[in-house]
Amino acid sequence: MTPLDPQQAAARAWFEALRDRICAAFEAIEREAGSDAAFAFTPWTRDDPTGAPGGGGVRGVMKGRVFEKVGVNVSTVGGQFSPEFARSIHGAAEDPRFFATGISLVAHMANPHVPAVHMNTRYLRTTRSWFGGGADLNPPLPYDEDNADFHARLRAACDAHAPVGDYPRFARWAEEYFFIPHRGVPRGAGGIFYDHLDADGAAFAPAFAFTQAVGEAFLDIYPLLVRRRRDTRFTAEEETQMLAWRGRYAEFNLVHDRGTLFGLKTGGNVDAILMSLPPRAIWP
C-alpha cells in the first residue's frame, strides 16, 4: 500500500482516536458495574489481489457484564479491487485502485432493556473520494424516550453541519437501508445512514467535519442510554425476545449488509468482519 497523503492520514488518525475514546467509555461502564472486562485487540494484515501488501486493521472485542459482546474495529486498506468487484464500487470501474479507512462498531447487550447499537464511518477513495456511514439503534424492547433521544442527538449533529448533514434525507436512507426485505420488517429503530458524501477537493473538509460530528454524537448519546437501562430487571421471556431479535440482526448482516460484503470481497479479516454477529441468538 502506498504512503498516505495528508487527507488519508487525517481520516485514519481520527477513526483510531475515536476507537480509543469509545473503548475507554465502554470500559468505564463495565467498571461501574463491578466488572474488570476490557477490550482485547488483535491486529491483522491483508494482501490485495495482486499479492501486494494491502494494509490491515485492528479487531477489538470486549465481553463483560453490561456488554455481552461489543466489537470496535478500525482498518486502513488499499491496493486494487478484483475486476468483477470494481464494477460495483463508486468510481472504480475504470480504475480498480482504492483506499479505505474507517471504524465499525456493534454492541450486543446483556440486558434486553438496553438497546443494541451499530455505528460506522469511513473514508474511501477510488477515482472519486467520499465519506459514508451512520448509526442505528436496535432495541429488543423499544423505549420511545431512548429512540427519541438517539434521533435528536443525530439530528443535532446533522443540523450543525447543514447542508452537508441532511437529517431528513439520512434518516429516510437509514429506514430504507436497515430493513430486512425477506421478513418485511425494519432491523431496529433507525438512525442515520449516508454514503458517497463528496470529499473531492474542497469538499473534503466539510464532509470530514460532518463525519467527525457523527462519531461525537454517538459517543455522547449511547453511553447515556446504556446507563439509563442497564440496571432494569428483566424476565426470562424478555431475554428470549432479545435472542430472537438477534437472529434477525444476524440475518441482515449476513444477507444484506454492504459492509460485510465489502470486507469479504477485499480480503479483510473474517473474524473482524463477522464481529457484528451476536454471541447468542435463537430462531424460534
Question: Domains in the chain, start-ordered, CATH in brackets?
Answer: 6-276 (3.40.1500.10)
d(CA 38, CA 58): 15
In this structure, which amino acid lies at residue 127?
A: T
Please pick, among 113, 118, 151, 161, the residue that the annotation labels catalytic.
Answer: 118
Q: What is the pLDDT of residues 12-46, one digit of tens each?
A: 999 999 999 999 999 999 999 999 999 999 999 98
d(CA 129, CA 151): 27
pLDDT at 69: 98
pLDDT at 235: 98
Residue carrying C-alpha cell 434521533: 151
CA distances (Å), 135 to each of 26, 66, 115, 118, 180, in order? 17, 20, 13, 6, 17
Q: What is the pLDDT of residues 195-245, one digit of tens each?
A: 999 999 999 999 999 999 999 999 999 999 999 999 999 999 999 999 999
Closest CA to 14 of 98, 102, 78, 120: 102
Catalytic site includes residue 118:
yes
d(CA 153, CA 171): 12
pTM for this prediction? 0.93
For range 80-102, the mean pLDDT: 81
Has residue 2 got a pLDDT over 90?
A: no
Among 84-88, 148-152, 164-168, name the one with the lowest average pLDDT.
Answer: 84-88
Q: Who contacts 272 (Cβ-Cβ below 8 Å, separation ≥6)? A: 42, 44, 57, 59, 71, 73, 75, 263
